[in-house]
Structure 1
Amino acid sequence: MMWYTECGKDGDVVLSSRVRLARNLKGIPFPARADEKQQEEVLTRCKNAVLESGSTLADTVKYIDLSVMQDYEKQAIAERHLISPQMMDSRIKRGLLLSDDNRLSILLNEEDHIRIQAMAAGFDLDACFSLADRVDDLIEESVEYAFDEQIGYLTCCPTNAGTGMRASVMVHLPGLTISGTINQMIDSLSQLGVTVRGLFGEGSKATGYLYQISNQLTLGAAEEDILEKFKQIVESVIGKEREMRTRLYNTDKYKLEDRLMRSYGILSHAVLLSSEEAMKRLSDVRMGIELGIIKNIKLEQLNEVTYEILPANIMLKYNLPDANERDLKRAEIVRERMCS
């Protein structure tokens, strides 16, 4: 079982946690400005820093050359948040170091030379930071980072300078969304230096009540302090979401139950199912499970099917380039899960 199918701490609201560290090699231009030889140098040096380190980590990580992958293959791992959509651009030589359990992915030649991503199920930013920090130290034993005593780590985008750290959580917020209070919460978080985006990060829309919440501040404070402040903000969001779910249920129990059970019924019998509708209906079912209305499905099952039915993942697993065929297969997969 991969980490993203698990249900971790506070899993009724927080699906996953991630800590990302942005780093660049001293003396080499950022990927967009580097020539092909310099891009290759980054790949070789970073790959060797991990795979030839002699550490226990080296035994659990494999290197993936993105330049030899088809677009739909890259899209499939992007759907699982193992690479960013930007990594699909083949004009720059890019690579990925990925652990067997997918908890660690090291993006090479994305916007920065190195993006260390550590991920965990549920609300567990401390575990993510611990892993990312350990990998960061390991790589730095072999390469010298671009660093300034006053600014900190130098990054392609100035907003990442300083610690180069972004902490984020994927959250399920049906209560705040259905009640119409989500925009108010987003505005409040923005004033606290926190940004809210859709399922696939910057530029994406929220799908199925799923949002990414991440810190904006990376400069002028230590990683631990930034992380602690961010954790307190996320805990507040968790509390407000649970409170709003309870209020919605107590205000009009039968209307809410009807909505959630209708989605469950559609998923149990649909013949054609688009990706967008599937995500919305699965989100209703998730809320039903979290409220104890739907009892025969576990959140772990729902997490697994959510990733399995994404477009590129269906195309990769079942070799279905036609959208209509994918909608048929998606409905079949979901029916099986709902009735199992």
Structure 2
Amino acid sequence: MTVLELSELARSNGEWLRGTGPEADIVISSRIRLARNLADFPFISRATPADRTELDRCLRDKLLKLADHIQLNYVEVSKLPAVDRQFLVERQLISRELADAQGARGVAIDAREQVSVMVNEEDHLRIQVIHCGLDLEPAWEQINHLDDLIESQVTYAYHPRLGYLTACP
């Protein structure tokens, strides 16, 4: 994982914008998102600035350990000017909520802009995969694998009856 220069992203369109996927004449893109929280930290709505900073550091380090499986670049969203945050929103790599939030926060992005993992949005992690056209099954397989990889590095907040615990249903 390296620090990403946004100028590199601006030179080309993300994979999902190419218009080459299945049914691309009708469906622009297929996106799947998963929300996850870590068991050992308070949810974002209850987290202190120190908690958010520690979460950002912890998750950035854990995402780095995935380099054998997926190459991600980390962007410290909290240090970006507004125009760069807007660029990431327009590319569907971060949410408006993450762009406008305060405190430590970031996003890990793959080179093709198919994968982004937002840190310290409404939940500790918002894992997103976006494919061109109507491509839900491969998108699900990709995000499910990534979720498993991340879960091998951290302990998610999980309840046997309720499932993964998130800030919103």
The two structures share one fold, judged by TM-score above 0.5: yes
When the two chains are superposed, the root-mean-square deviation of aligned CA atoms in Å is 1.3
CA distance in 1: counterparts of 2:106 and 2:24, whole angstroms: 31
Tell me the secondary structure at the aligned position of residue 56 of structure 1.
coil
Residues 178-232 of structure 1: CA deviation (Å, up to 9, x unaligned): xxxxxxxxxxxxxxxxxxxxxxxxxxxxxxxxxxxxxxxxxxxxxxxxxxxxxxx
CA distance in 1: counterparts of 2:69 and 2:165, whole angstroms: 29
Which residue of the partner structure matches residue 153 of structure 2?
142
Match of 2:116 among 95, 101, 105: 105
Tell me the secondary structure at the aligned position of residue 23 of structure 2.
coil
CA distance in 1: counterparts of 2:98 and 2:121, whole angstroms: 6
CA distance in 2: counterparts of 1:39 and 1:68, whole angstroms: 14
Larger Rg, first or second structure (1 or 2): 1
Looking at secondary structure, tell me which structure has more strand per residue.
2
Which residue of the partner structure matches residue 22 of structure 1?
35
CA contact (8 A) 1:103 1:120 kept: yes
Against the structure 1 CA distance between its residues 54 and 85, is the aligned structure 2 distance closer, same or farther, given a 3 Å change threshold? Answer: closer
Which residue of the partner structure matches residue 117 of structure 1?
128
Against the structure 1 CA distance between its residues 14 and 54, is the aligned structure 2 distance closer, same or farther, given a 3 Å change threshold? Answer: closer
Structure 2 unmatched runs, 5+: 1-12
CA distance in 1: counterparts of 2:19 and 2:162, whole angstroms: 38
CA contact (8 A) 2:14 2:91 kept: no
Report the TM-score, using the length of structure 1 for normalisation. Answer: 0.44
CA distance in 2: counterparts of 1:132 and 1:29, whole angstroms: 24
Between the aligned residues of both structures, percent identity stands at 35
More contact order relative to length (CA 8 Å, sep ≥ 6)? 2
The number of residue pairs the alignment matches comes to 156
Match of 1:93 among 101, 104, 108: 104
Looking at secondary structure, tell me which structure has more helix per residue.
1
Counterparts of 1:8-157 in structure 2, within 5 Å, are 8-57=21-70, 60-157=71-168
CA distance in 1: counterparts of 2:24 and 2:131, whole angstroms: 11
Counterparts of 1:1-340 in structure 2, within 5 Å, are 2-3=14-15, 4-57=17-70, 60-157=71-168, 159=169
Deviating runs (4+, > 4 A) in structure 1? none
CA contact (8 A) 1:39 1:93 kept: yes
CA distance in 1: counterparts of 2:67 and 2:91, whole angstroms: 29
CA distance in 2: counterparts of 1:55 and 1:22, whole angstroms: 23
CA contact (8 A) 1:24 1:112 kept: yes
CA distance in 2: counterparts of 1:115 and 1:90, whole angstroms: 14
Measure how far apart 1:16 and its partner are: 0.2
Measure how far apart 1:18 and its partner are: 0.7
CA distance in 1: counterparts of 2:53 and 2:127, whole angstroms: 18
Residues 237-269 of structure 1: CA deviation (Å, up to 9, x unaligned): xxxxxxxxxxxxxxxxxxxxxxxxxxxxxxxxx
Structure 1 unmatched runs, 5+: 160-340
